[in-house]
Structure 1
Amino acid sequence: MTWPGRYTDTGLFVCFEGGEGSGKSTQSRALHAHLTGLGHTVELTREPGGTAVGQEIRRIVLSPETGVLADRTEALLYAADKAEHVHQVVLPAMARGEVVITDRYVDSTLAYQGAGRALAPAEVEHVARWATGDLRPHLTVLLDLPPEAGLGRFDGRDRIEGEPLAFHERVRSSFLALAAADPEHYLVLDARDDVEVLAARIRDAVAPLLVAQAVGTPA
C-alpha cells in the first residue's frame, strides 16, 4: 500500500528513530538544546508518553508487570498513544510555527509491531497512519546500531527490550528499509560514532529545513 503522507507548511517536525540503546534520547535532547539556544521555540516530546493519556499507555506497554499482550492489543495501544500525541501536542505546536522533536513516532510502530510481531505490516501501517492523520516528519534521524550492541548498554529491560535478539534484528531491518524507501526525508547515522560528531551532523541536516519551513523567527 502506498501512503502519500502529509507534511505541514508551518513549523518543523523532526523525529528520532532507532533500536534500543541507540542514543535517540541523547541526540534529541542535544538538538533541543541547540535550537533553543538559537532562540527557537521547541517542543521536545516522545512516544509513547508525550501526553497524560500516553503516560498511562507507556506504563502498560513497557512494564514487565503487564506480561504478555496480544499483538493486536499492543499495536492498538501504541496507535492510541500516537493519535492523542498528534492531536494534543504535535499539531498545535506546528500550527504555532514551532519545532517539534519527538523521540519515536510511526516508524517505531511499523518496525516493532509490523516487523517484530506476527502482524501484517500493511495492516499495522494502515492503523498507524490513520491514527496520526498520516502526518509525516520533515526529517527522521535514524540512529542505526546492531541490536547486540544496543541491548548491552543497560542492565534492566522493559517488555520490549526483553524480547529475543531475533525480534530486535527484524526491527533494525525494518527501520533501514523505511529509510531506504524515502531517502529525501531520512538521515541515517551509525550510532556507534562519537556523540558530538553525530550531534553536529544532525544540526547540519536540520539547518536548511529551518529556512525552508515556516519556522518562527528567533527573537
Structure 2
Amino acid sequence: MNGLFITFEGGEGAGKTTVLQIVKEQLEERGLKVIATREPGGSVIAEKIREIILNPEHTEMDARTEALLYAAARRQHLIEKIVPYLEDGYVILCDRFIDSSLVYQGEAREIGIEEVLNINLFATEGLMPEMTLYFDIEPESGLARIHSHQGREVNRLDQETISFHEMVREAYRKLAAREPERIHLLDASLPLDAVVKEAGDKIESILQKQEKR
C-alpha cells in the first residue's frame, strides 16, 4: 500500500477531532491527497452501527455486545474506505481506531485487552496504523470542555462516571508506554496552536521517513 494510515486517539474532550481537521487542511495545502474519517463510522453501514452503539437510550447494552459491534463497524470501514484509499496513495487521518476498543472495552469495561485485541485483529486482518497520536488530558478537563461545547454530539459515553474515564486515560498511557514507536503522547491541555504544531511535527516526521523508503 502506498498511502499512510494515521490515527488520532484520546479520551472525551481531548480535542483530537478539532486538531485532525486543522492538520488535514494543512496537509491539503501542501498538495497531499488526504482524507479524514472516523470510528465508529466512516462508511454507510458503519455509521448505522455507530447510531446503535452510541445511542444514549441503549444503556442496557452488554459490554461484549458493544465490543463486537465496534469490531463489526471497524471491519466494514476498513474494507470500504481505509484499504481502498491507502492503495490509492492517500494520507488517512482517522478519528479513533483499534486502540479505542482496547482501552474503552478491554480495560474500562473490564473485558480484557487481549480478548478485545483478538476480536479486532480478526476484524482488521492485522492491519494497524503506521502512527497513532494520543491526546492526553485529565478527564475532568476533557469533560468540562464537552459540557461547554453546545454543538457536540451527546453519546452514551457521556453518561459514564469519572472513574470510568480515569481508567480510559490510564489504559491509553499504558498502551503508549508499551508501543512508543507507534503511539506518540501529546499534551492536550496545552493551547490549541501548540497541540496542532506538535501533531503536525509528528506527522511531518513520518512523511519524511516514507519519502526515504
Same fold, TM-score > 0.5, yes or no: yes
2:104 and 2:15 mapped to 1: Cα distance? 17
Contact 1:10 / 1:213 at 8 angstroms: preserved in 2? no
Question: How far does the alpha carbon of each residue in 1:105-162 deviate from its partner, in whole angstroms, 9 at most, with x for none?
Answer: 0000000000110312211110012111121111100000111111111238421121
* Pairing partner for 2:73 from 50, 65, 81: 81
Contact 2:12 / 2:146 at 8 angstroms: preserved in 1? no
Q: Tell me the SS of whatever aligns to 1:151.
A: helix
Q: CA deviation at 1:194?
A: 1.0
Q: Tell me the SS of whatever aligns to 1:86.
A: helix
Aligned residues: 207
Contact 1:10 / 1:214 at 8 angstroms: preserved in 2? no
2:7 and 2:112 mapped to 1: Cα distance? 24
Q: Tell me the SS of whatever aligns to 2:190.
A: coil
> Are 1:112 and 2:104 counterparts?
yes
> Are 1:64 and 2:56 counterparts?
yes
Residue equivalent to 1:162: 159
Residue equivalent to 2:13: 21
1:166 and 1:33 mapped to 2: Cα distance? 36
Q: CA deviation at 1:38?
A: 0.4
1:70 and 1:143 mapped to 2: Cα distance? 28
In angstroms, what is the RMSD of aligned CA positions? 1.5
Q: Tell me the SS of whatever aligns to 2:157.
A: coil
TM (norm. structure 2) is 0.93
Contact 2:105 / 2:111 at 8 angstroms: preserved in 1? yes
Contact 1:11 / 1:213 at 8 angstroms: preserved in 2? no
Residue equivalent to 1:172: 169
Identity over the aligned pairs, expressed in percent? 39
| Structure with the higher fraction of residues in helix conformation | 2
* Pairing partner for 1:141 from 128, 133, 137: 133
Contact 1:64 / 1:158 at 8 angstroms: preserved in 2? yes
1:39 and 1:159 mapped to 2: Cα distance? 38
Q: Tell me the SS of whatever aligns to 1:180.
A: helix
Contact 2:9 / 2:95 at 8 angstroms: preserved in 1? yes
Question: How far does the alpha carbon of each residue in 1:37-79 deviate from its partner, in whole angstroms, 9 at most, with x for none?
Answer: 1001111000011110111111111111222201110000000
Residue equivalent to 1:43: 35
TM (norm. structure 1) is 0.90
Runs of 4+ in 1 over 6 A off after TM superposition: none
Structure showing greater relative contact order (alpha-carbon pairs closer than 8 Å, 6 or more residues apart) = 1
Q: Tell me the SS of whatever aligns to 1:205.
A: helix
Q: Tell me the SS of whatever aligns to 1:213.
A: helix
